[in-house]
Structure 1
Amino acid sequence: MTTTTRVRRTRADWQAVISRAERSALSTAAFCAAEGISTASFYLWRRRLRGIAPSVAEPGRPPPEFLDLGLLSRPAKTDTASWDLELDLGDGVVLRLRRG
């Protein structure tokens, strides 16, 4: 069993991480994996540091039309994993994604 240690980074730490990522030739996902950070945290802090509002809509403002969740990695040829994802978006709208 592998356990991970959470590292608390300051705003300056995140700025340094994001600067390194921008100079890196790696994709965001590969860079985050090499740094041991989640892509969700990376994107959250990049938005914060750029002054972009978080994805939660503020009262009186429409919600964002698009939220980048990154790429879903393709399975290796020997990987037979399948998955089903269902998101209830409200008002009777359901998004279903399936890989099998």
Structure 2
Amino acid sequence: MATTTRVRRTHADWQAVISRAERSSLSTAAFCAGEGISTASFYLWRKRWRASNPPQGDVGEEAPEFLDLGLLSRPANTEGASWDLELDLGDGVVLRLRRA
């Protein structure tokens, strides 16, 4: 009967494993078998790593600017000041704010 030794990996170790897997031409199952790790552990750590390291935008893509919504408040002495604000949140979700 074969015994297996459980290897404890740090976050940095998992980051290195995930990076190697992304560069590899092997399937996930074949890569994990070669590394001696279960595919379930790999997928769990890859999900955790991606959640803490969201993909960076395309090169040259500008970061969204901050808009202080306090600037949109209507001063007491301004009659008829209005504004429209539309935020595209992705996946077809759009948030529209209007002050008439």
The alignment's TM-score, normalised by the length of structure 1, stands at 0.51
Q: Deviations over 1:47-100 (max 9, x none)?
A: 000117xxxxxxxxxxxxxxxxxxxxxxxxxxxxxxxxxxxxxxxxxxxxxxxx
Unaligned runs of 5+ in 1: 53-100
Instruction: Name the residue aligned to 1:31.
Output: 31
Amino acid at match of 2:37: I
Instruction: Name the one with the larger helix percent.
Output: 2
Q: Over the residues paired in the alignment, what is the CA RMSD in angstroms?
A: 1.0
Shift of 1:16: 0.1
CA distance in 1, matches of 2:2, 2:27: 25
Q: How many residues align?
A: 52
- Residue identity over aligned pairs, in percent, reads 85
Shift of 1:45: 0.1
CA distance in 2, matches of 1:25, 1:51: 23
Q: Look at both structures and tell me which one has the larger radius of gyration over its CA atoms.
A: 2
Shift of 1:28: 0.1
The alignment's TM-score, normalised by the length of structure 2, stands at 0.51
Instruction: Name the residue aligned to 1:8.
Output: 8
